[in-house]
């Protein structure tokens, strides 16, 4: 394991020039604006020219068969995966690459990247809770140590967030004592504690026993209704249909179809989407 | 019973020997663990050639008997202009030798960390130092705790070899008392019992870490 | 260092090797026997063995060697340095082997034992035909690690006058007033011996994995 095997090496000839990020973009700037995202491993292209804009408050569900590149694309949005080419703006500000002195883009250094990532939170398929910290400890860890919030304030907010996902009484439990559904709800609280502009969900219910899927989806539904900007990679068709403002359908590393849930589920106009729905939406 | 009386009459020497053994182990731990943590991070982070070289060096230390290393350091350091007493040479040997073992233990533990926990740290904007300080090291410490404990037991026993380069630790004292009093059983039995106690204390420490680990990880 | 010195070191290496092999060969059956005795859970004897094993495991080899060399004669058992060294190494490694075998026995799948009994195998046959062949495969990795530890522990018996590699190197250094070259040559010798053992272990493990489809750790 290399801690940063997926990110840029720092000190690659550029120094942090101390330039602060641009002041807040206009209020109607997209929460995410991804342009021409390509990703290739060796010779295989997994993402080809993907564009995506997500407006503040919008919930977008990304659907597609396994291997379609939807998870890779999601990981490109917070630069856990570095796209081969393309740009991502979060809330109007770039992540991953900045304009360099000579006008050509240069990779962000570790500090810039860490700062950019605080604007977006991610919920992982396998929860990725920190096993040495309690539920509450997981929730307050990054707000205190990355954002520098006062501990008491973070603890109070953390308890509120755990209460919101119905886990107030498990605040002091270690992750291994929680069920899968509880772990994922803690993970969602942890993500919310960052007060992110954007919340990414990477197949949040795929690792759960069937009877626990509902409790996690219920929390996500509440968030979407509360106006949280979300991008959800999922196989839960009923959830996507009910909650999403927009469906993006990926296949073979391309956006094949995009539209309202109603249009996508009732009148898919590409053959690939029709085939996909015939297989999964029953 | 005369044996017990002999040991009792040399109790100050035994206590001093025990103190030396404990001090060597304690000091070597305090020095070698942070060094090993640093080396393990370097081994994980460095470029491939450096990583390979580092592993070769670590492996070399692990192939050499401790006594031989102690000799090399005791006789070798003066050659490079560093004149240390036996006690300090022994400490250097303990730190280097166990540092190599600890490095390998920590490196292996870091490699088997849950990948996603580390990735989540990156996704939440932890700096590299924070990632190591707040996520990787605590997890590694709990994971590797029992193995480190076993190595500490090995370390306690290795200090006995330092009697050969005239460090006045527990076995040196036992041998000294035997030579003085011509009564071998009691002094050596005393030394063995005291080593047993030291090792049991270390094992109890391991037990505590293992219990904490079970509490957190299940 | 002269050519003669190199020969001296090589001769000493044969002593190191001989001591290790003798200690390992004697220690293995004793360790297995102790582990089996403990698995029988006989009252008193069980606790006695447990305490003895714990004590010996905590005993530095140097101290143990001094104990054996100086104390056994008191009990009427006069031992020359080399036999005393073999006794020391055997005691030491038997205690560790006992724990390795005990772990292997504890992890042995119960249903296999029940199956063997159900087919009418008597305990002795069951042990010989079913348990032992799997036990040694599962214990091979830890046992080889223990063997390298024995090999690395041999310098400790120099303290009772056995001239093995380390002591021979020390002597050469004392004669030539240049201690470093013989010690470095000794380092090369140990590394070569240990490398051979580790290679052998990898080879054996690979064969076992190929033949029986499971890897041993």
Would you give per-residue pLDDT tens digits along chain B (218 residues)? 577 888 888 889 999 999 999 999 999 999 999 999 999 988 888 888 988 888 888 888 888 899 999 988 888 888 788 888 899 999 999 999 999 999 989 988 888 888 888 899 999 999 888 999 899 988 888 888 888 888 999 999 999 999 988 899 999 999 999 888 888 888 999 999 999 999 999 989 888 888 888 887 76
pLDDT of residue A19: 38
> Nearest 5 degrees, angle CA C167-CA C173-CA C174?
90
Fold of the B2-217 domain: MetI-like fold (1.10.3720)
* Last residue of one domain, picked from the residues A141, A164, A195: A195
pLDDT of residue C216: 42
Task: Identify which has the larger pLDDT, A263 or C198.
Answer: A263
Cβ within 8 Å, pair B121-A130:
yes
In a domain, C112, yes or no: yes
State how far the Cα of A183 lies from the Cα of A176, in Å rounded to an integer.
9
pLDDT of residue B51: 86
A204 and A143, same structural domain?
no
A216 and A188, same structural domain?
no
Question: Of B164, B195, B199, which has the smallest distance from its Cβ to C159's Cβ?
Answer: B164
In a domain, A121, yes or no: no
pLDDT of residue A26: 52
- Report chain C's C-alpha Rg in angstroms: 20
Full residue range of the structural domain in which residue A71 is found: 28-109+200-282
* Last residue of one domain, picked from the residues A159, A176, A195: A195
In a domain, A23, yes or no: no
State how far the Cα of B67 lies from the Cα of B90, in Å rounded to an integer.
10
* Touching, A vs C (3+ Cβ pairs under 8 A): no
Question: Of A80, A111, A141, which has the smallest distance from its Cβ to B123's Cβ?
Answer: A80
A85 and A205, same structural domain?
yes
pLDDT of residue A281: 64
Distance from CA of C91 to the nearest CA of B (A): 14
- Cβ pairs B/C, distance under 8 A: 118
CATH (domain of C95): 1.10.3720.10
pLDDT of residue A172: 93
In a domain, C217, yes or no: no
At A14-49, the pLDDT tens digits run 333 333 344 444 556 899 999 999 999 888 899 999
pLDDT of residue A198: 93
A124-136 mean pLDDT: 91
Question: Of B110, B123, B124, which has the smallest distance from its Cβ to A1's Cβ?
Answer: B110
Cβ within 8 Å, pair B128-A4:
yes
In a domain, A125, yes or no: no
- The ipTM assigned to this model is 0.83
A101 and A35, same structural domain?
yes
In a domain, C166, yes or no: yes
A190 and A219, same structural domain?
no
Distance from CA of C95 to the nearest CA of B (A): 14
Cβ within 8 Å, pair C179-B60:
no
CATH (domain of A45): 3.40.50.300
What predicted TM-score, i.e. pTM, was given to this entire model? 0.79
In a domain, A280, yes or no: yes
pLDDT of residue B218: 67
A163 and A183, same structural domain?
yes
Cβ within 8 Å, pair C58-B67:
no
Question: Of C55, C66, C153, which has the smallest distance from its Cβ to B196's Cβ?
Answer: C55
Full residue range of the structural domain in which residue C50 is found: 3-212
Residues for chain A: how many in total? 282
Question: Of B67, B175, B195, which has the smallest distance from its Cβ to C66's Cβ?
Answer: B175
pLDDT at A265 over 90: yes
Distance from CA of B188 to the nearest CA of C (A): 6
In a domain, A116, yes or no: no
Q: Give every strand in the sheet of A93-95, ordered side by side.
A: A44-54, A32-41, A85-90, A93-95
pLDDT of residue A66: 87
Nearest residue on chain C to B59, alpha-carbon basis:
C191
Q: Are A198 and A74 in contact (CB under 8 A)?
A: no
A207 and A186, same structural domain?
no
In a domain, C11, yes or no: yes
In a domain, A58, yes or no: yes
Distance from CA of B125 to the nearest CA of A (A): 4
pLDDT more than 70, % of chain A: 89
At A164-173, the pLDDT tens digits run 999 999 999 9
In a domain, A20, yes or no: no
At A216-230, the pLDDT tens digits run 999 999 999 999 999
pLDDT at A114 over 70: yes
* Last residue of one domain, picked from the residues A169, A195, A221: A195
- DSSP 8-state code for residue A7: S
State how far the Cα of A4 lies from the Cα of B64, in Å rounded to an integer.
34
A177 and A205, same structural domain?
no
With tokens 């550029």, the residue in question is: A14
- Report chain B's C-alpha Rg in angstroms: 20
State how far the Cα of B217 lies from the Cα of C148, in Å rounded to an integer.
33
Instruction: Give which of B68, B112, B152, B193 to mutate to test C binding, by max C Cβ within 10 Å.
Output: B68
Subunits that touch chain C (at least 3 Cβ pairs < 8 angstroms)? B
The runs of H, that is alpha helices, within chain A are: 70-77, 110-117, 135-145, 151-164, 180-192, 210-225, 237-243, 261-266, 271-280
- Report chain A's C-alpha Rg in angstroms: 19
Domains of chain C: total: 1
Residues of chain C with pLDDT under 70: 212-217
* Contacts A2 to B, Cβ<8 Å: 44-45
Instruction: Give which of B51, B121, B123, B145 to mutate to test A binding, by max A Cβ within 10 Å.
Output: B123
A65 and A80, same structural domain?
yes
């Amino acid at each position: 394991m290399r801690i940063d095997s997926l990110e840029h090496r720092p000190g690659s000839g550029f120094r942090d020039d101390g330039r602060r990020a641009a002041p807040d973009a206009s209020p109607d700037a997209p929460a995410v604006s991804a342009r021409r995202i390509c990703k290739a491993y060796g010779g295989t292209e997994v993402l080809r020219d993907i564009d995506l804009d997500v407006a503040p408050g919008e919930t977008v569900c990304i659907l597609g068969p396994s291997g379609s590149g939807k998870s890779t694309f999601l990981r490109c949005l917070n630069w856990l995966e570095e796209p081969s080419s393309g740009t991502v703006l979060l809330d109007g500000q770039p992540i991953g690459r900045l304009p360099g002195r000579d006008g050509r883009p240069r990779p962000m250094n570790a500090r810039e990247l860490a700062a950019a990532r605080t604007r977006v939170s991610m919920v992982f398929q396998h929860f990725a809770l920190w096993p040495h910290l309690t539920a509450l400890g997981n929730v307050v860890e990054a707000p205190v140590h990355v954002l520098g919030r006062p501990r008491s304030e973070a603890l109070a907010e953390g308890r509120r967030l755990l209460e919101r996902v119905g886990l107030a009484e498990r605040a002091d439990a270690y992750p291994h004592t929680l069920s899968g559904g509880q772990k994922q709800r803690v993970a969602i609280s942890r993500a919310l504690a960052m007060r992110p502009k954007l919340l990414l969900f990477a197949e949040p219910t795929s690792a759960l026993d069937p009877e626990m899927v509902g409790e996690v989806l219920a929390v996500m539904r509440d968030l979407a209704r509360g106006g949280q900007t979300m991008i959800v990679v999922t196989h839960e068709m009923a959830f996507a249909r009910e909650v999403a403002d927009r469906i993006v359908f990926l296949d073979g590393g391309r956006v094949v179809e995009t539209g309202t849930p109603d249009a996508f589920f009732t009148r898919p106009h590409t053959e690939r989407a029709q085939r996909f729905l015939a297989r999964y939406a029953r | 019973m005369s044996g017990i009386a002999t040991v009792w009459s040399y109790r100050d020497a035994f206590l001093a020997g025990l103190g030396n053994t404990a001090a060597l182990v304690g000091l070597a731990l305090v020095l070698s663990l942070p060094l090993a943590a640093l080396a393990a991070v370097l081994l994980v982070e460095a470029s491939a050639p450096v990583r390979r070289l580092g592993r070769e060096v670590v492996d070399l230390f692990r192939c050499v008997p401790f006594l031989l290393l102690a000799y090399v350091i005791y006789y070798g350091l003066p050659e490079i202009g560093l004149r240390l007493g036996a006690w300090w040479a022994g400490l250097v040997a303990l730190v280097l030798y166990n540092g190599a073992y600890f490095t390998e233990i920590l490196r292996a533990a870091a490699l088997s960390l849950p990948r996603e926990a580390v990735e989540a740290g990156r996704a939440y904007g932890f700096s590299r130092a924070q990632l190591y300080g707040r996520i990787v090291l605590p997890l590694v410490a709990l994971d590797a705790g029992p193995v480190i404990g076993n190595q500490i037991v090995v370390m306690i026993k290795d200090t006995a070899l330092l009697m050969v380069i005239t460090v006045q630790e527990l076995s040196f004292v036992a041998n000294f008392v035997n030579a003085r009093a011509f009564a071998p059983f009691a002094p050596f039995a005393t030394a063995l019992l005291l080593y047993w106690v030291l090792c049991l204390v270390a094992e109890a420490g391991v037990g505590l870490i293992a219990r904490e680990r079970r509490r957190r990880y299940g | 260092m002269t050519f003669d010195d190199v020969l001296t070191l090589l001769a000493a290496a044969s002593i190191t090797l001989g001591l290790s092999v003798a200690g390992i060969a004697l220690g293995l059956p004793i360790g297995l026997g102790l582990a089996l005795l403990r698995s029988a859970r006989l009252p008193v004897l069980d606790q006695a063995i447990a305490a003895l094993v714990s004590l010996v495991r905590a005993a530095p080899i140097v101290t143990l060697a001094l104990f054996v060399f100086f104390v056994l004669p008191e009990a009427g058992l006069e031992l020359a340095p080399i036999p005393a060294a073999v006794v020391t190494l055997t005691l030491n490694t038997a205690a560790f082997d006992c724990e390795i075998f005990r772990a292997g026995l504890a992890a042995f799948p119960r249903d296999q034992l029940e199956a063997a009994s159900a087919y009418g195998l008597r305990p002795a046959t069951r042990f010989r035909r079913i348990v032992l062949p799997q036990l040694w495969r599962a214990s091979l990795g830890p046992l080889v690690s223990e063997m390298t530890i024995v090999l690395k522990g041999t310098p400790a018996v120099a303290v009772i006058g056995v001239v093995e590699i380390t002591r021979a190197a020390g002597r050469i250094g004392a004669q030539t007033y240049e201690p470093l070259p013989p010690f470095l040559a000794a380092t090369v010798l140990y590394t070569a011996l240990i490398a051979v053992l580790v290679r052998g272990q990898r080879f054996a493990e690979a064969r076992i994995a190929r033949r029986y489809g499971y890897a041993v750790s």
